[in-house]
Amino acid sequence: MKITGLIKEQKTLEYLKNSYGVVPVKGDSLIPIFTDGKEYFAGGFKWFYSLAFQFDSAGFKSAIDSIKRKYKDVSFNISLPFDPGTRMINYVLDLKGITDSGKRSDLYEGKTRNLVRKSYKNSFTLKIGQPPKDFYILYSASMNRLKSKPRSREWFAGLEKAFGESVVAISLFTGGESSNDGSNANGSKPGKLIGVNYCLVSSEYALLMFNVSDPSYWDHAVNDRLYDELVKWSIEHKVRSLDFGPSTANDDSHNHFKEGFGAKRFYIFNAKSGSLSYRLRSFMSTKIHNLGLRLHKLGLPRLERAVGNLYSHRQMIVRYIISGGTAAAVDIGLLYAFTRFAGLWYLASAVIAFIIAFGVSFFLQKFWTFRDRATEGMHRQAGKYLGVSVFNLFVNTLLVYLFTDYLNLWYVFSQVIAAGLVALGSFFVYKYWIFRTRPAESTI
């Protein structure tokens, strides 16, 4: 197997360490392993994934199983030439053995070649180098048009500071043919910025991170020109693998566009393995993050900020769910045990089970979920907690009645919705009224 990609570059390792506290793990694994001290990352971290060649499905499974046995709580991020069962893909253009950029059109499909020829009939100015000053404006407009949340200017500034000349922007402006310094051939400066391919490059690999353009110039095939200029530049700089970046398998228009330039489909294996708490935390993180993105698309900034606050407390939320689930299991288990094995009347069993489960719930939520170590005034906290529990019982019953009798929902579904709403409200009551939480979060 051969691994390539930005994950092998020293600049990437320094960036991950300085920005995220992620460092490589020394070992004999074919797939690079990283850790932040709490969990492990196999293949890469975030958008810095490994690109694997000469790897069959049997060898891949063996390598993955070996990592799962050796490391606890591990996340995989690897791009493969075969489908391991995933929705995320990326397209890679193989440039090995191609040295003449003048023959690059041989890689393209017929329709793509025609569009590239059309793009060169327009009066555009080309500039290759560091991102132009108006890049962020064009990028933000593109993200907003797609109803996607743009990254901050500070994020780009940090990336460009860390990678320096490894950040390469293929930029097009309005105006005539460009000269060597990026100005127009007649000496005037470029006009309006209309498109940028924002890339990170290494000695033999280039990743297209962002392709942004002005939609009013799409009829002029501005994106075909940007991609063609990127292929040309890559060949001239001896790039062997040009990665057009991740997308979803059902994004037909963009995928066909990339295929038109001769790129082949790879599959991104993005999976998590480990303890139940780790997988639950990861599941919650994904769901909360996706909810925030949906709220951003709907133009609901206040709700988006509220969800963002939930996301920042995701580890606490997972502890909250586990504590509540444990207390519920204790309640049901003791109710059954006292009635079935101790021979108590079921209502007496229910009262005893409730009291014990209440104690379990209180201590777990106080000392584990919300990390409140103080013992002074604990009896007052217990009284508040009991009051909230009784109130929750009333609210839960009322909601089930309303959902079932007035909205005609199935009573079990009504209970699920009611329990979810009560649990969500209780989280904030516990956090901000009953328990004093620590300023800094820690892991589960």
Q: What is the pLDDT along the chain (444 residues), one digit of tens a residue?
A: 788 899 989 999 999 999 999 999 988 788 999 999 989 999 999 889 999 888 788 888 888 999 999 998 999 999 999 988 877 899 999 999 899 999 999 999 999 999 999 999 998 999 999 999 999 999 999 998 887 889 999 999 999 999 999 999 999 999 765 544 445 544 556 689 999 999 999 989 999 999 999 999 999 999 999 999 999 999 999 999 999 999 888 888 899 999 999 999 999 998 889 887 788 777 777 776 677 767 766 776 776 676 666 666 777 888 888 898 898 888 888 888 988 898 888 878 878 988 898 899 999 999 999 888 888 889 899 999 999 988 988 888 888 889 888 888 887 788 778 877 888 888 888 888 898 654 443 333
Q: Output the pLDDT for position 312.
A: 64
Collect all residues with Cβ–Cβ distance below 8 Å to 14 and sequence separation of at least 6. Answer: 162
Distance of CA 190 to the CA centre of its chain: 36
Alpha-carbon span 339 to 349, nearest angstrom: 6
User: ∠284-289-294 over CA atoms, to 5°?
Assistant: 125
pTM for this entry: 0.71
Residue 175, number of CB atoms within 10 A of its CB: 20
The closest of 399, 116, 65 to 257, measured between CA atoms, is 116
User: ∠272-274-279 over CA atoms, to 5°?
Assistant: 60
Helices H / strands E in the chain, number of each: 13, 13
Q: Output the pLDDT for position 226.
A: 97
Q: Selecting from 3.40.50.1100, 3.40.630.30, 3.50.50.60, 3.40.50.720, what CATH number does the domain 97-239 have? A: 3.40.630.30
Give me 159's structure tokens.
């990336």
